[in-house]
Amino acid sequence: MRKVVIFALLSLFAWCDIFDDGAYAYDNDDFKMAKILWQKACKSGHSGACYSMGVMYETGQGVEQDFKKSSEFYQKACDDNLAEACYYLALNFENGRGVRKNWQKAKELYKKACDGEYQDACEKLKNLH
């Protein structure tokens, strides 16, 4: 049992290192490396990496701008309750970027993001009422 716990902890540290290495690459304009590292971390379940991939595709930094892919990555992170990802996914549903425009879905996602204490989402909800 102890070996399993140690392995799990080592895996967690490696997972965080991959994300952090991706952030370092991104901050130094090495978008190709950031994409490689964040994709790997996202596939391993790191919601921050999934969100970061969504940002890359939304802004077109290091990749061709693609709102559909951006929304897919935001969805993965939002499914893990990353409030900021829920907010940006809601914006895409509100504006029909990469997904079919859907006000009800946008409102649900803004609420989820607000419940996760993402203040911009709470403001957006106030304005929608």
pLDDT of residue 6: 36
pLDDT for residue 58:
97
What's the CA gap between 4 and 109, in Å, rounded? 37
Whether the pLDDT of residue 5 is over 60: the answer is no
Q: What is the pLDDT at residue 18? A: 87
| Residue 82 · residue 48 · CB < 8 Å | yes
Which letter does DSSP use for residue 78 in this model? H
Q: What residues contact residue 77 under an 8 Å CB cut-off, 6+ apart?
A: 47, 48, 50, 51, 54, 84, 85, 86
Q: Give me the residue label for tokens 């304005």.
A: 127
For the chain, the average pLDDT equals: 88
Give 53's contacts (C-beta < 8 A, 6+ positions apart). Answer: 35, 38, 39, 42, 69, 73
Cα→Cα distances 94→12, 100, 110, 114, Å: 35, 9, 10, 16
Residue 10 has pLDDT above 60, yes or no: no
pTM of the model: 0.86
Residue range 18-35: mean pLDDT, rounded: 92
pLDDT: which is higher, 5 or 42: 42
